[in-house]
Chains A and B, each alone.
Chain A
C-alpha cells in the first residue's frame, strides 16, 4: 500500500517569502499525485495534480509542484506567499489502476503573517 509523508507539520512565513512544502510517497510504480488546500473553515480544494508528462505542474493561485521520480517526491512551491495563502495543505497519491483510492499525508499548516 502506498503512503505519503509531509515533512513539516507547521510552517510560518512572512508575506512575500518563498514557500516549499515537502511531500514524499512510498510506492514504486506509476502514481497520480495531488496537492489539496483547506482554507480555514472550508472544505478541501484541488490545487494541482500530476499524472503524466511535464514533471513541473502549475496549479491555481501561483502554486506549482515538481515531480521527481528518483526521489519519490512532489514538493509544492510558491515564489511569494500572501496572507490569504494561510491554510492547511495536503499531499495525496493514488495509482492509475482505476480502482485505487487516494492516500493523504497528514497535512502542513501554513501561517502567513502580514
Chain B
C-alpha cells in the first residue's frame, strides 16, 4: 500500500463550487504539506503543518484553507473554486527537520480542473 494517498485522483468542477482534497499517510510523520504544480512554475507551497495543532500559510495560500484532522490526515479546501486553480495538487509528508535534512514523501497527486 502507498504511504501517502490522495483522494480524489482527478476532479472536474465548476467555478464557485467548494472542493475538498484529502491526504492520508501511514508513515507516522508529524509534518504534512500541500503544493500545487503548474507547468513551468515548479511546485509552490500552499499550506503546511508541523504537527496536529500547527497550521501555516505557504507561498500561495489565498483562496485555499486546510484542516489537520489527525496526525495522518491533512485536507485542502477550495471554498469557491476559480479556473486559475486548475492545477496538479500534491500532498507530502516529512519527519522532523534539522541537520539531517527533510526528505519529503509525495502522494500521487490530484488533477483538478475548474471550468
* B interface residue numbers (CB < 8 A to A): 33, 40-45, 48, 50, 58, 90, 92, 96-104, 106-109
Contact = CB atoms under 8 A, between A and B. Distances in A.
Contact of B58 (A96, A101, A106): A101
**Considering the complex of A and B, which 9 residue pairs feature the smallest CB-CB distances, nearest first?**
A106-B42, A51-B101, A43-B106, A32-B101, A44-B106, A104-B43, A98-B98, A96-B99, A104-B42
B40 A97 contact: no
13 contacts: A32-B102, A44-B92, A46-B103, A51-B99, A51-B101, A94-B101, A96-B97, A99-B50, A99-B97, A100-B102, A102-B45, A102-B102, A106-B42
A109 to B, nearest CB: 9
B41 A106 contact: yes
Contact of A96 (B43, B98, B108): B98
Q: Per DSSP, are chain B's interface residues mostly helix, strand or loop, or mixed? A: loop
Q: Per DSSP, are chain A's interface residues mostly helix, strand or loop, or mixed? A: loop
Given A43-B90, A99-B50, A106-B40, A49 B103 contact: yes
B77 to A, nearest CB: 20
A107 B42 contact: yes
Contacts of A105: 42
B42 A96 contact: no
A97 B101 CA distance: 9
B40 A9 contact: yes
Contact of A34 (B33, B42, B97, B101): B101
A52 B101 CA distance: 9
